[in-house]
Structures are given as C-alpha cells and as structure tokens.
Structure 1
Amino acid sequence: MTIWDTCAVFVAGTGAGTINAVVGSGTLLTFPVLLAVGVPPVAANVSNTLGLVPGSVSAVVGYRRELAGLRTLLLRLGVAALTGGVVGAALLLTLPAGIFATVVPVFIAMALVLVMLQPRLARRVAARPGGAAGARTSAILSAGVFTTGVYGGYFGAAQGVLLLGLLGAVLHEDLQRINAVKNVLALLVNAVAAVVFLFVAHFDWSAVLLIAAGSVIGGQAGARLGRRLSSTVLRAVIVVVGLVAIGQLLAG
C-alpha cells in the first residue's frame, strides 16, 4: 500500500468502528476502500471481518452500562449468533460470491420498517401473556438471530441494522439497551467467522491491522455518541444508514 492507501484504510476503519457502535453497516465503508486499494474481494471480506473485531470489542466496552441485567438473554442469543456466524463463514468459502445480493436489500428494508415500528411492536409483545419472555417469542428471536448470524458471517454489511430491527420488534427494552445487545451479538458473529477464516483464508495483514487500530478508536467514539442520542434520533440515524446501505448494495 502507498501512504495514501494506508491513510484511507485507517480512516475507513475509524469510521466503520464509529458507525458499527451506533448502528452497524461499517463494512459498507471499509469493504469498498479495501477493493479500491487493490485487495482482492474475498481477501478484503475476510480481512475486514477480522479487522473489525477489536472495534466491536471497543463498542461493547463502551456500552457496558446498558448491558446490566441482560446476562441470561445474551447467553441464549449468543449461542444462536455464534452458530449462525460459523454457518455464514462456511457459506462464504463454498458459495459463489454475491449469492445474497438480491435478497439482502429486501431484508434491510424489512428491518427498517421494524425499527420504525419498534415502540408499538415492543408494547404489543409486552402485553401478551408471558410478554417478551414467552417460549414462542424466545424461539422466534433465537431463530432470527441465527439467520442474521449466517448473513453476518457471510458478509456482514448492515448486520447491525438487521439485528436492531429484529431485537427492537421483540424485546421490551429501551433502544439504547437493544443497541448494546446488538453490539455483543455482532461481535460474536464477527469473531467466530474470523476464527474460521484464520484457518482457511488468505488475509491482507496490513489491512487487518489498519482497520483494527481505526475501529478501536471508532468504537469508543461511537459508543459515546450513540449514548447521547435520544431513542427518536437514534432510530432516525438507523433508518438513514439503512437506506444508504440499500442504495450501495443495489448500485453494486
């Protein structure tokens, strides 16, 4: 890489770490930059996945206060996320590139609708017998997190938006706490996918290190920014980022 390439990847990593902590979709920033500096697509994907893991850790640490009292939920959904991430990583290594290109924009659009309707949906879930803790609701949520994990392990762009839409529609929690849960689940998916890739894929280690360094800084900045946003503003940011993600995926 040239000095300008190095700067571009580091800045993209910082921006991605910030965006991932607040909403998700940081991959839509780093992945095109890696391609632009000459990293092959598959190597760019796996390098990006590994590089963003430290940023996800940073975001989780930044949102640790919002995770209080959610240990049981995180353990249950964490298993689903880890399993989905492994499946998604395996699919990346076996399926043709871009296999999800036609369906992902639809998924993101559905997630945005759920995000916008989240307050009303959460109230309805809480009003049912058993509320958000009902067995049927729990099973549906775990299945949804698994499916999102499959997508996240495969590519990951807008994984955060999908998780926020899903979690917000089911959990009777404040959006900030839902965002904190999203950060943990996204971290687990990216981490387990990165472990799989370590054994079978080729990395561009300079890109990994640059994205990692930038995303750690961005993760802390994003956590501070996201916590200061009201639920209404945060919901608006999620929708804007999701629409941009749909536009980029359709244009690609």
Structure 2
Amino acid sequence: MTWLEQLAVFAAGIGAGGINAVVGSGTLITFPVLLAVGYPPVTANVSNTIGLVPGSLSGAIGYRRELRGQRSRLIRLGTASVLGGITGAILLLTLPEGAFKAIVPALIIAALVLVVAQPTLARRLKERQGEARPAHGGPILIAAVYATGIYGGYFGAAQGVLLLGLMGVFLHEDMQRINGVKNVLAMLVNGVSAIIFMFVADVAWQVVALIAVGSIIGGQLGATVGRKLSPTVLRGVIVVVGLVAVVHLLTS
C-alpha cells in the first residue's frame, strides 16, 4: 500500500471503532476501503475482523460503568455469541462469497423495526411476563444472540444493530446498559473469529495493524460520545446508521 492508502485504512479504523462503540456497522466503513485499495473480499473481511478486535475491546472498556451488575447476563449471552462466532467463521471459510448478502438487508430492517418499537414491545412483554421475566432475556433471546453471532462471524456489518434491536425488546434495561452488553458480545464474536482466521486464513497483517490502532482510538471516542446520548437520540442514531447500511448493501 502507498502511504495515502495506509492513511485511508487507518482513518477508516478510527471511524469504524467509533461507530461500533455507539451502534455497530463499522465494517461498512473499513471493508469498502480495503476493497478499494485492492484486497480480495475474503482477505479484506478476515483482516478487518482481526483488526477490529482491539477497537471492540476499547469500546467495551469505555462502557465498563454500564456493565456493572450484568455479569450473569454477560456469561449467558456471551456464551451464545462465542458459539455463534465460531460457527460463522467456519461458514465464511467454507461457503461461497456473498452467501448471506441476500438476507442481510432484511435482517437489518427487521432490527430497525425492533429498535423503533422497542419501548412499546418491551412494555407489553413485561406486562405479560410480570416479575418472572428472565434477567438474561430467556431462551428466545439466547437463540437469537447465537444466530446474530453466526452472522457476525461471517461478515458482521450491522451486527450491533441486530443485537440492540433484540436485546432492547427482551431485556427490561436502560439502552445505555444494553449498549454496553452489545459491545462485549460483538467483541467476543470478533475475537473468536479472529483466532480462527489467524490460523487458517490469508491475513494482511499491515491492514490488521492499521485498523487495530485506529479502532482503539475510535472505540474510546465513540464510547465517550455514545454514553452521553439520551435513549431517544441513541435510537435515532441506530436507525440512521442501519438505513445507511441497508442502502449500501443493496447498491454495492
């Protein structure tokens, strides 16, 4: 890569780390940049996943205050995310390129509907279940988090939007605390996928280093901004980012 291309990848890493901490979909920034500088799709996807792991950790650390008291929830949902991430990474290495592309826009639109309707749906679910509502969201949420992990391990763009939409409905919790959980789950999916890719896939390590450093910076910046957003504004940001993701995927 030329120094201008390296600068572009580094800047994309900052942007991806920031948007991942607030919402998700950072891959929609880095992945096109890597394709533009000449990397094959699978190599770009693999290198991008590995490079974003430090940024995911940075974003999770930025939300550490919101994660207090959620250890049991993180263990249950985190296990589902890890298993899903492993499955998705294996599928990426075995299925044809673009196998999930046709259904991704529909998944994101469904997640955005959940995000918008979350206050009403969550209230009705709480009224129906009463105090017996599971703190971890129940088996349906665990299965949905596993499925989202599969998608995250395979490609990952808008993984955060899907997680926020699902957890917002099934968890009786503040949006910022849910966002903290989302950052941890995305980090686990990226992390376990990265471990697999490092051993069996073609990795562009220069790209990994540039995105890693950039995403660490972006993760801290994103966490600082994201934690100050009201639930209503945060939902608005999620919807805007999600719609941009849908348009990008449908036109690319």
TM-score category (smaller protein): over 0.9
Letter in 2 for 1:173: E
Contact 1:125 1:172 (C-alpha < 8 Å) held by counterparts: no
Aligned to 1:164: 164
The C-alpha deviation readout for 1:144-175, integer Å capped at 9, x for no partner, is 00000000000000000000001101100011
Aligned to 1:251: 251
Contact 1:125 1:131 (C-alpha < 8 Å) held by counterparts: no
Aligned-pair distance for 1:108? 0.3
Aligned to 2:148: 148
Aligned-pair distance for 1:134? 7.5
The C-alpha deviation readout for 1:194-251, integer Å capped at 9, x for no partner, is 0011110011111000000000000000000001111100000000000000000001
In 2: Cα distance, 1:132 partner to 1:104 partner? 30
In 1: Cα distance, 2:92 partner to 2:78 partner? 21
Aligned to 1:199: 199
In 1: Cα distance, 2:250 partner to 2:132 partner? 38
In 2: Cα distance, 1:200 partner to 1:107 partner? 29
Is 1:132 the counterpart of 2:133? The answer is yes
Structure 2 gap ranges (5+): none
In 2: Cα distance, 1:174 partner to 1:49 partner? 28
Aligned to 1:50: 50
Aligned-pair distance for 1:129? 3.6
In 2: Cα distance, 1:70 partner to 1:206 partner? 36
Aligned to 1:30: 30
Aligned to 2:240: 240
Contact 1:47 1:203 (C-alpha < 8 Å) held by counterparts: yes
Contact 1:55 1:217 (C-alpha < 8 Å) held by counterparts: yes
In 2: Cα distance, 1:33 partner to 1:52 partner? 14
Quick check: 115-124 or 227-236, which moved more?
115-124
In 2: Cα distance, 1:186 partner to 1:78 partner? 9
Aligned to 1:117: 117
Letter in 2 for 1:132: R
Aligned to 2:13: 13
Letter in 1 for 2:14: T
Please report the RMSD computed on the Cα atoms of aligned residues, expressed in angstroms.
Answer: 1.1
Aligned-pair distance for 1:126? 2.2
In 2: Cα distance, 1:227 partner to 1:12 partner? 22
**Under a length normalisation based on structure 2, what TM-score does the superposition of the two structures give?**
0.98
In 1: Cα distance, 2:90 partner to 2:191 partner? 14
In 1: Cα distance, 2:77 partner to 2:131 partner? 18
Contact 2:135 2:171 (C-alpha < 8 Å) held by counterparts: no
Secondary structure of 1:76's counterpart equals helix
The C-alpha deviation readout for 1:9-40, integer Å capped at 9, x for no partner, is 00000000000000000000000000111111
Contact 1:55 1:212 (C-alpha < 8 Å) held by counterparts: yes
Letter in 1 for 2:62: G
Aligned to 1:178: 178
Letter in 1 for 2:75: L
Is 1:95 the counterpart of 2:102? The answer is no
Aligned to 1:66: 66
**Under a length normalisation based on structure 1, what TM-score does the superposition of the two structures give?**
0.98
Secondary structure of 1:106's counterpart equals helix
Letter in 2 for 1:14: I
Task: Report the number of matched residues.
Answer: 251
